[in-house]
Amino acid sequence: MKITTILGSPRKRGNTAAVLGLFEALIPSPHRVERFNIMDCTVKGCLGCDTCFKTLNEPGCVQQDDASAIFKHLMDSDLIVYTTPVYVWGFSAQMKALMDRHYSLVKWADGQVVKALLKGKRTALLVTCGDTEENNADLVLEAFDREMDYLGCTVAGKYVVPQCTKPSELGDKGEKTARQMHADLLGVQ
């Protein structure tokens, strides 16, 4: 299985990265994992120009940045794991730019979807937040569901690690979440 993980945190060594690292460490061979750290990538915001609709089998975005390479990996993946800390009840700004660019992955003509480049892909979301899930991470979970529905993806799991703002506050919550993700997403107990 080819697994692509996307670290959407501006902190490469923060709590979101720590939990994602624990999950990735549990993945055995022959599964392959490739991680994209959004902070190492240049992903510009969507221009809304609809030029991407002119091509059916690739994103076709006019912007020349790292989003195209990331999307190629997503299209070739069996499982995509998105991760983000909660920022103002939503995705981090870095992850939001990538999520907005997903627009180029669904092709429209005459008000109808004619092709969805990630259709049927299994996806998951890992969220960390400084407060409880309720009234904090609930909106990002809903936004993720709607985005994956738009893309035609199957949400295989959503995971929230609450009440942590730095790795030292994770306690055993991070490891428990990583193990639950491993069990749910890879079918391994």
How much of the chain, in percent, has pLDDT values that exceed 70? 99
Give tens-digit pLDDT for 20-60. Answer: 999 999 999 999 999 999 999 999 999 999 999 999 999 99
Give tens-digit pLDDT for 23-34. Answer: 999 999 999 999
- What domains can be seen in the chain, in order of their start residue? 2-186 (3.40.50.360)
Measured between alpha carbons, how far is 38 from 66 in angstroms, rounded to an integer?
A: 9
Give tens-digit pLDDT for 140-164. Answer: 999 999 999 999 999 999 999 999 8
Q: Where are the alpha helices (DSSP H) in the chain?
A: 15-26, 67-75, 93-101, 138-151, 173-186
Q: Which residues of 103-136 are buried (b: 16+ CB within 10 A; e: fewer)?
A: bbbbbeeeeeeeebbbeebbbbbbbbbeeebeeb
Identity at 137, one-letter amino acid code: A
Of 33, 30, 39, nearest to 21 by C-alpha is 33
pTM: 0.95
Measured between alpha carbons, how far is 140 from 118 in angstroms, rounded to an integer?
A: 20
Q: Is 18 helix (H, G, I), strand (E, B) or coil?
A: helix
Whose tokens are 């969805």? That residue is 116
